[in-house]
Amino acid sequence: MALPNSPRIESLLSARLFMDPQVVGNRVFFISNMSGQMSLYAMDRGGSVPEPLIPPDIALQNPMLIGGYSYCVFPKLGKIVLMLDRHGDENYQPVVVPIDGGYPEPIFSNELADKRVHMDAPDMKRNIVYFPTESRKEQMIYTYQADLRRMKLRLMGKGTWGPWVDAVNETHNKAVLIDGYTAADNVLYLWEKGTKERKLLYGKPIEARKEGENVPLNGISNGQFIEDDGCLIFITYLFDDAGGLGYIDLAKPEKITPVAVKGTVHEGRGMLESMHHLEGDRYSLCYNIDGCSLLYEGTYHSTAKEMRIDSTVCGTGELSNGMLQSHRYDKGRKRWAFSFSTATSPAQIYTVEGKERKVTRQTNERVLGIPPELLSPGEDASYESFDGTRVSARLYFPPESLGFEGARPLVYYVHGGPQSQERPDFAWFSMPLIQFLAMNGFAIFVPNVRGSSGYGLSYMKQVDKDWGGKDRLDHVHAMTKVLPGDKRLDVSRAAVVGRSYGGYMTLTLAARHPELWAAACDMFGPYDLIKFYDRIPETWKPTFALTMGDPVKDRDFFIERSPKTYIENVSCPLLVIQGRNDPRVVEKESMDLVEQLRSKGKDVEFLVFEDEGHDVIKFPNKVRCYNTIKEFFTSRLKP
C-alpha cells in the first residue's frame, strides 16, 4: 500500500497523549495535549467528552520529566493539587484547583517560593502529602510533610543529599527518609513525629566514608511499613543485580533478609522498577523486561518471607510489548488506572477492576490517515560490543509497501540519561520521530548501550565517571563492525541524533569519529563539561560530582571528555535544537557550541524554541521540530 502523498508528521501527532490517569468515583482524571499543550482533564469512566480543568493558557510539564506526582485529586477536600512550572523551566510550585476545575491558586508560596518542589506519597484519605524541595540558591534539599486540610507544613529534614521520602506509615507519624548519592547508593534514616533528629537505619553516610572506600550498593527504595510499623519491605539490589525484595526489622536494622518473589511469568533481561502497597498483605510489582512493562499483583507471606504473585495486570494480551507510563491504584474500589502505549500504538487509558481483573480501555486514540501496517514495530538488533558485552538494540525499516528500493540510509538514535533507556513508547518524543523517519525512507538504529537502565545495576553503573568512554566505544563498534554487515543498510549515508545526554554523545561521536557521519542533530546536549557543570542547578552538583566527576579535581578528564575539545574535527552538517527555558542544559551551552562552529566555518543550523525547556512538548513546536529534523536528514542523506 502506498500513501497518496508523503506522510505528514501531523498525522502521527494526531494521536493525542493520555497520561497519568487517576480514577476517583465515576470520574477519570488525566493529563493530555488535546489543546496542543499539556493540560489537566476529566471525563466520565466509560467515556464522555473530556472536560478541561484549568484555563487554556496554562501549560503543564511532561509528567515523565517531573519526578514525583504531577497532580493528585483529593476528593474529601474537593480539590486537586497540581505541580506547575513556567514553560519548561522546571521550577515546580504546588497549586490547588477545585475538583470540577478552576484557576490554579498557589499554596505554601511563602515557604516554597524559592524552591523547586516535588510531590510524593499523597494520602487521599487523610489529606496529607509530602514535598521534597530543592533550593534554587544553595546545595540544600528541604523535605516537608503537608497537611492539606489544616494547610500546615512540617519540616522533616534538610541536607545536601536528601532527605527524599521513601516510606510512610498509615498514621504518618513515621517515615523512612533516604539520602541518595548516586544510583543505588542510598542511606536510610527513620523519622518520627516529634523528634528533632532523624535516626540512621541502614548504610554508611558519605561523611563517614574513607576516601576511595567501596560501599556495597543497596538500591533500597519503594519501602513499605509492615508488622505494626516495626519492619520494612522494599526493593533492593543487594541480592540480585536485576533487583529483588528485602526485609528489615527496625529493632535490628543492620541485617537485611532477602524476600523471595515467586510466580512471575516473564523471561528475558530486565529490572524490578517499583513496588506499591495495595491493601492488607497485597502488593504490586512492576518489572521492566527489555523495555516492556509487566505489572503483577501478589500477596506477601511474612513467615516464609515470600511475595507470591497470583495476577498479571499488565504484560499479556492487548497490554503486552509496551510501556506503562504510569499506574495508580484506587484502594477504596480495588481498581487500577494506567496509561499504556507501544512502539506502534498511541497512549491509551485503561482501567482494571473486579475479581476477574477486567481490562477496559477508556480511550480510543489512533493515528489519522496512516494505516497501522505502515507503523514499524522494529526488529531485534542486539549485538556483542568490542569487549563481548551484550547491547540490546532495535532496528526500524520503512514498510515494504512504500516502495523504497536499495540499501537504506541510516539514522543512529542515541537516548538521553545516560542512565535511561529507549523503550517501545509512542508517548515519548523519539517514537513518532522514528516512525516518521522510517516512512520517509530511513532505517533507524536504536541501541541501549552500557550505562542504560533496564539491564541490571552493574550494566547501568558502567557509565559513572566514564561519560563518553566505553559507551562511546559501544556506538563506534556498532557503526564499524556490526551495521556494515547488514546489506539492507548504507552506512556511508549515516546520521546521528540524540537528546540531552544523547545530544552530548551525538556531539562526541561527530567530533571524535567524523568519518562515520554525513549529518548530525544535537538536541540540548552538553558541549563543554566544565561550563555545563557550572550551569546546572545547585542541588544537582554534588551528585554530578560523583557520577560525572569533580570539575576541579577532574579538570583534565572533563576537558578530555568534552565535545568542545574535538569540535573543530566535525566535518558533517550539524543541526542544533534548544529550548529557551531549559534548566538542565541551558541555552548558553548550545549558543557557545554554535558560535564556536560558525567561527570555524562549519555548516550548522540553530533552532531555538522560545516556550520550551528540556523537551519539545507543544504541538506547533513538535511539528516544526520533527519536520526540521526530517528535512535536514533528507537533504544530506537523500533517501
Q: Which of 451, 560, 447 is nearest to 508 (CA)?
A: 560
**Taking the CB of residue 190, how many other CB atoms lie within 10 A of it?**
18
Q: Angle at Cα 89 formed by Cα 74 and Cα 180, nearest 5°?
A: 70
Per-residue pLDDT at 523 exceeds 70:
yes
Q: What confidence tier does 405 reach under pLDDT thresholds 50, 70, 90?
A: very high
Which residues, including other chains, have CB under 8 Å from residue 394's CB and lie 6 or more apart?
Answer: 378, 379, 380, 381, 422, 445, 446
Third-level CATH fold of 372-637: Rossmann fold (3.40.50)
Per-residue pLDDT at 559 exceeds 80:
yes
CA torsion, ordered 307, 313, 317, 320, to nearest 10 deg = -80
Tell me the percentage of the chain whose pLDDT exceeds 70.
Answer: 99
Backbone angles phi, psi at 39, to 5 degrees: -150, 175
Per-residue pLDDT at 229 exceeds 90:
yes
3-state secondary structure of 279: strand
Identify the pLDDT of residue 12: 92
Q: How far is CA 522 from the centre of its chain?
A: 19
Task: Report yes or no: 113 and 93 within 8 Å, Cβ to Cβ.
Answer: yes
CA torsion, ordered 499, 505, 509, 510, to nearest 10 deg = 40
| Helix (H) / strand (E) containing 313 | strand 306-314
Q: Which of 542, 445, 545 is nearest to 496 (CA)?
A: 445
Q: What confidence tier does 2 reach under pLDDT thresholds 50, 70, 90?
A: very low
Q: How far, CA to CA in Å, does 310 sit from each of 249, 267, 318, 579, 639?
A: 26, 17, 19, 46, 50
Per-residue pLDDT at 624 exceeds 50:
yes
SS3 sequence, 492-545? Answer: EEEEEEEECHHHHHHHHHHHHCHHHCCEEEEECCCCCHHHHHHHCCHHHHHHHH
pLDDT in tens, 314-344: 999 989 999 999 999 999 899 999 999 999 9
Which residues, including other chains, have CB under 8 Å from residue 480's CB and lie 6 or more apart?
Answer: 516
Task: Report yes or no: 313 and 297 within 8 Å, Cβ to Cβ.
Answer: yes
Give residue 232's identity as a one-letter amino acid code.
L
CA distance 94 to 175: 22
Identify the pLDDT of residue 541: 96
> Residue 253, preceding bond cis, omega within 30 degrees?
no
CA atoms within 13 A on the CB side of 49: 0
Q: Which of 238, 240, 338, 324 is nearest to 287 (CA)?
A: 324
Give residue 323's identity as a one-letter amino acid code.
M
Terminal C-alpha separation, the chain: 19
Which residues, including other chains, have CB under 8 Å from residue 440's CB and lie 6 or more apart?
Answer: 6, 7, 398, 630, 634, 639
Average pLDDT (594-623) is: 95
Task: Report yes or no: 108 and 146 within 8 Å, Cβ to Cβ.
Answer: yes
Which residues, including other chains, have CB under 8 Å from residue 124's CB and lie 6 or more apart?
Answer: 72, 73, 74, 75, 76
Identify the pLDDT of residue 269: 85
CA atoms within 13 A on the CB side of 619: 16
Task: Report yes or no: 465 and 558 within 8 Å, Cβ to Cβ.
Answer: no
SS3 sequence, 379-435? Answer: EECCEECCCCCEEEEEEECCCHHHCCCCCEEEEEEECCCCCCCCCCCCCCCHHHHHH
Backbone angles phi, psi at 187, to 5 degrees: -125, 130
Question: DSSP state, 266?
Answer: -
> Residue 418, preceding bond cis, omega within 30 degrees?
yes
Average pLDDT (552-561) is: 96
Per-residue pLDDT at 628 exceeds 80:
yes
DSSP secondary structure letters along 153-182: EEEEEEESS--EEEEE-TTSSEEEEEEESS
Whole-structure pTM value: 0.95
Question: DSSP state, 599?
Answer: H
Identify the pLDDT of residue 47: 80
Domain boundaries, the chain: 372-637
Average pLDDT (585-603) is: 95
Q: What confidence tier does 3 reach under pLDDT thresholds 50, 70, 90?
A: very low
Residues, the chain = 639
CA distance 508 to 505: 5
Average pLDDT (175-196) is: 95
Average pLDDT, the chain: 95
Average pLDDT (431-449) is: 97
DSSP bridge pairs for 436: none
Per-residue pLDDT at 503 exceeds 70:
yes
Region for 291 from its dihedrals, namely left if φ exceeds 0, alpha if ψ lies in -120 to 50, beta otherwise? left
The sign of the torsion formed by the CA atoms of 581, 585, 591, 597 equals negative
Per-residue pLDDT at 306 exceeds 90:
yes
CA distance 326 to 638: 39
DSSP secondary structure letters along 450-502: TT-SSS-HHHHGGGTT-TTSHHHHHHHHIIIIIGGG-TTEEEEEEEEEEETHH
Identify the pLDDT of residue 4: 45
Q: What confidence tier does 615 reach under pLDDT thresholds 50, 70, 90?
A: very high
pLDDT in tens, 150-168: 999 999 999 999 999 999 9
Identify the pLDDT of residue 5: 61
DSSP secondary structure letters along 183-211: TT-EEEEEEETT-SS-EEEES--GGGSPT
Q: For strand 282-289 and strand 306-314, is the pairing parallel, antiparallel, or unpaired?
A: unpaired
The sign of the torsion formed by the CA atoms of 590, 595, 601, 607 equals positive
